[in-house]
Copies of this chain bind each other. A is one copy, B any other.
Amino acid sequence: MSHIRLRCIACDATHPADAGTLFCRRCRSPLDVEYVGYGTLSRAGLTGLWSLGAPAPVHDARNVVTMGEGQTPVARFERVGERLRLSAVLGKLEYQSPTGSFKDRGTTVLMSVMKEMGVTEVVEDSSGNAGASIAAYAAKAGIVAHIFAPASAPVAKLSQIRVYGAQVHLIEGPREAATHAAKEFVARRGLVYASHNLSPYFLEGTKTFAYEVAAQSGELPRHIVIPVGNGSLLIGAWKGFLELKERGRIKVIPRLHAVQAEAVQPIASAYAGREWQVLAGARTVAGGISVGQPPRLKQALRAIRETGGASVAVADEAILRWQLLLAREEGVYAEPTSAAAFAGLEALVGQGVIGRDETVLLPVTGMGLKDAAPAL
């Protein structure tokens, strides 16, 4: 018997854990993994995030598809701190990952589950980083990957997806068109939709971010500021901290703040109680968080509100300014999506949400080479 099942995040209905179910059969909401036992996974010989002791939806270590993801380093960002007059700013360098972004946390778990369940062909839609990550782990697992991406995605990201041997389907139109085409393809071909936005297994990987922050910190940071599109890192971190609190390993969950781009801000708007509609042609340099209709929006809002966090939207100009500042003052070349978190930090300090003497941690989610700065 499996030690996991799937629970609806809205109506609490449960379903058996399988490869393809992404929505509650009763109310059509997304699902989370729920653990009903300890499971049989032995961690012996596993490294990186698989060695942290977090409950995982895999039964047999032989099915773990891993390239040493996780255990990313934390750097002190002293000059960012001086600039914003904060006593301690920490960067968790998530881009030091197998495919150059934090998505690998989610993907290693998702693709391990797929392998364990005997899946041989998956479909994913992605504006870039998740697509590259799924493509890489599918290659490692010997699984065929179909990646649906907007035709406007950065060339370096598309090229990276292709080098792993994935079949790339370029879709004209807004980001949502790629999702629509992927779903249609899944239905037509009877394949598994390994959506990083929807899959409950993906969050079981991103939750390890919280386990690492707890293990690496003498004292937990008071604030964590995260760039949020679909919210897989925000929601995953929240789940991880909730598990750690339930197990008595931490007392207080850091305040989780969500940063979005001004042009595409469904979560920041909902947080502020503002009406917001995605405008046709709305664009931001932060491609990784350019998501007009995140399927887990309500869950993301809960993660923010229940931890005492806030959500802000930042301008492209601030994002690009912080991208250069990080490179020139901290030696960290982040992609614009990652720099958005620092623009958000500046805004949150300005609003008084984050105090001068409180420790702040920010994930640097993706490497700059993936979505290069305007030519210098």
Contact = CB atoms under 8 A, between A and B. Distances in A.
Interface in A139-156: 139-140, 142, 156
A331 interface: yes
Interface residues of A, number: 48
Most interface-central of A69, A137, A369, A375 (chain B CB within 10 A): A369
Contacts of A375: 159
Contact of A160 (B79, B93, B369): B369
A370 B333 CA distance: 13
Given A68-B73, A75-B67, A159 B330 contact: no
B163 A330 contact: no
B327 A163 contact: yes
Interface stretch (A94-102, A178-186, A203-211): A94-102
- Counted per complex, copies of this chain come to 2
Given A139-B327, A329-B139, A333-B164, A372 B98 contact: no
B333 A99 contact: yes
Interface string A162-187: 11110000000000000000000000
B164 A331 contact: yes
A162 B376 CA distance: 6
Given A68-B74, A93-B98, A369-B100, A376 B159 contact: yes
A331 B48 CA distance: 17
A93 B73 contact: no
Interface in A323-341: 324, 327-333
A47 B139 CA distance: 32
A156 B156 CA distance: 10
Contacts of A195: none
A73 B96 contact: no
Contacts of A73: 47-48, 67-69, 71
Contacts of A214: none
A287 interface: no
B160 A368 contact: yes
Interface string A63-79: 00011110111110001
A268 interface: no
B163 A373 contact: yes
B68 A96 contact: yes
A97 B99 contact: no
Nearest to A370: B369
A367 interface: yes
A373 B93 CA distance: 25
Nearest to A72: B68
A20 to B, nearest CB: 23
A147 to B, nearest CB: 13
Contact of A331 (B93, B139, B156, B370): B139
Given A140-B330, A156-B372, A369-B370, 18 more contacts: A47-B74, A67-B330, A67-B331, A68-B72, A69-B73, A98-B331, A100-B100, A100-B369, A136-B331, A136-B332, A137-B331, A138-B331, A156-B156, A163-B328, A163-B333, A163-B368, A164-B328, A164-B331
17 contacts: A66-B75, A67-B330, A67-B331, A68-B74, A71-B73, A79-B142, A100-B369, A136-B332, A139-B327, A139-B330, A139-B331, A140-B330, A159-B372, A159-B375, A159-B376, A164-B328, A369-B370
